[in-house]
Chains A and B, each alone.
Chain A
């Protein structure tokens, strides 16, 4: 095993996911102490084009794997390809985004090579020569700091939108193409199609700004009030469980313990009371603004800024005021 760090560059829709630069930032921190190098591996259709996005980032190498059988995601196909690179490079640490793909792929590959994996981490730090990962447990009510033992390859999936993205830092990255030799009939479960959900806005788990509605929205059609603000800010629209259960919004945008965990810079909670389960999903937001008729709503205990009032009065004014300054 070397002192190196391998970064998994996830490609979706021909584009390298934003979290990749956050992983490179974490990898830099790790290798500053271990003295190792940072390599990346990018798998999928258009991987070579996607890899261009991280060429000037001081990586030692980027391995591009574009087997036809890997154009669509499959756990086994990607695990085989990633496994080959791990065998060749033998890094101490493997970093992936805690995305749908990363969360599915990382533990399988870790099992394949008898490593260890820490899921959904919000921070990585070097302590006495070992990488220590901080991760939420009990739906984010408590955190643990955990370190690998026994000299195994350590896989870490890192929550998107949490760590700062690395900036460009210089050339000299070797780009290598590797044919993993994966064939379609060796793969037993494969993605055949992706059906996009509600158009145009960022996914809540990746959004920098979220405008979210609770049960006070009263009707699905009322979400247009939030959508107008969201579109102005390039934000995602979220919902509390109460709103989803009442049929005002789809579960796909539910924020909370049994929904999505989000990490935006700005979370605007409209008519959301702030139940523990909702907070579990958005408490790591950098700035929380709460709008609620009830001055005693628990959300005000966690928000940074609050305004008591009717969201249907406040949100349109908010939209107008923001429109003036943008």
Chain B
């Protein structure tokens, strides 16, 4: 593994700060997990009157479900590596996202960074990644976990853009993660078409998490109480050294479209089940022409 200069300001910590390739096994890991506030999966999504977005009234917001796997994986690694490692939640979101951050802290994360700025509402992936990159460099990191995508914009880009900006390797849609003994690398399985692809990655790295990676824990009552005293550092764009939201103006949403209305379902009935099935087969062949 190539060792990078300790002089670089990119936030890499324990694993990279030794120049001879040897290091103490007890060096704690700095784990960062990303978190986004999104509408609940059950939410009824309607386009707003102006046609510029969705109606947010009456919608329940939650932690992006895929980010829960990220937090949980961070916590499990912390537990497996003797408890000195830390899990820092980094969230770019409105002030209402504090509730979600507290939940992650209640699950067991140690502290959090909440990037909150009106200029970042509905930001494009590049903007969000550029801002997150700076905040993450500040906190320092050995492993970054995030959900495979946010279930609002479904862009699934942040982890890749971040990886490029932070100059680290990436693995997407991880369904299993095994840290090596020396904590310098990991073996990650990811879901691809028709199978699972095993990836060996050096650390530091960013891993996007897929359902099935783990079972996220519920926050316990003691956890919730402890979370109230854990630190959430709030940052505006100015705090991170930006004059304005960086990297924007790359795209424009032209219009929002509701789902096309489907036709009515053709219910097929008959005296005998067999006849009804025959009719369905006939319709599929002659009318729908799919068999």
Contacts and interface: CB of A to CB of B under 8 A. Distances in A.
Interface of A: 12, 73, 75-76, 79, 99-101, 103-108, 110-112, 115-120, 127, 132, 134-150, 152, 185, 188-197, 202-203, 205-206, 209, 233, 251-252, 257-259, 265-266, 276-277, 283, 286-287, 289-290, 295, 300-309, 313-314, 317-318, 321-322, 325-326
B165 to A, nearest CB: 7
A305 B284 CA distance: 9
Contacts of B280: 289, 305, 307, 318
B155 interface: yes
Contact of B196 (A112, A194, A295): A194
B284 A266 contact: yes
A286 B47 contact: no
Given A100-B193, A139-B151, A309-B276, 18 more contacts: A101-B192, A108-B164, A111-B161, A116-B124, A117-B125, A136-B154, A138-B45, A138-B154, A146-B251, A189-B169, A190-B200, A194-B196, A197-B194, A203-B194, A290-B265, A302-B265, A307-B277, A309-B273
A28 B253 CA distance: 24
Interface string B86-126: 00000000000000000000000000000000000000111
Nearest to B198: A193
Contacts of B283: 305
A192 B281 CA distance: 45
A73 B249 CA distance: 32
Contacts of B29: none
A233 B2 CA distance: 51
B197 A206 contact: no
B205 A304 contact: no
29 contacts: A75-B169, A75-B170, A99-B192, A103-B156, A104-B173, A111-B129, A111-B160, A112-B164, A116-B124, A119-B156, A132-B254, A142-B54, A144-B255, A147-B251, A148-B250, A148-B251, A152-B250, A188-B205, A189-B170, A196-B195, A197-B195, A197-B196, A206-B193, A277-B42, A295-B267, A305-B268, A307-B267, A307-B280, A321-B278
B193 A99 contact: yes
A194 B280 CA distance: 39
Contacts of B250: 115-116, 148-150, 152
A325 B285 CA distance: 9
B258 to A, nearest CB: 6
Contacts, number: 249
B12 interface: no
A149 B250 CA distance: 5
Closest 7 pairs (CB-CB, A-B): A189-B201, A107-B160, A189-B169, A111-B164, A188-B169, A116-B250, A107-B157
Contact of A143 (B164, B194, B256, B265): B256
Given A150-B250, A188-B205, A194 B197 contact: yes
Contacts of A188: 1, 168-169, 201-202, 205
A137 B265 contact: no
Contacts of B1: 188
A276 B47 CA distance: 17
A112 B164 CA distance: 6
A84 B205 CA distance: 24
Interface in B42-60: 42-43, 45, 47, 54
Interface residues of B, number: 80
B290 interface: yes
A192 B200 CA distance: 7
A105 B159 CA distance: 11
Interface in B213-257: 249-257
Contact of B170 (A108, A265, A277): A108
B277 A317 contact: yes
A144 B125 CA distance: 16
B152 interface: yes
A73 B197 contact: yes
Given A117-B125, A258-B65, A265-B290, A307 B268 contact: yes
A103 B54 contact: no
Contacts of B169: 75-76, 188-189
Contacts of B249: 149-150
Interface string B269-289: 100011011101101110010
B273 A314 contact: yes
B172 interface: yes
B258 A107 contact: no
A307 B169 CA distance: 50
A255 to B, nearest CB: 13
Nearest to A257: B41
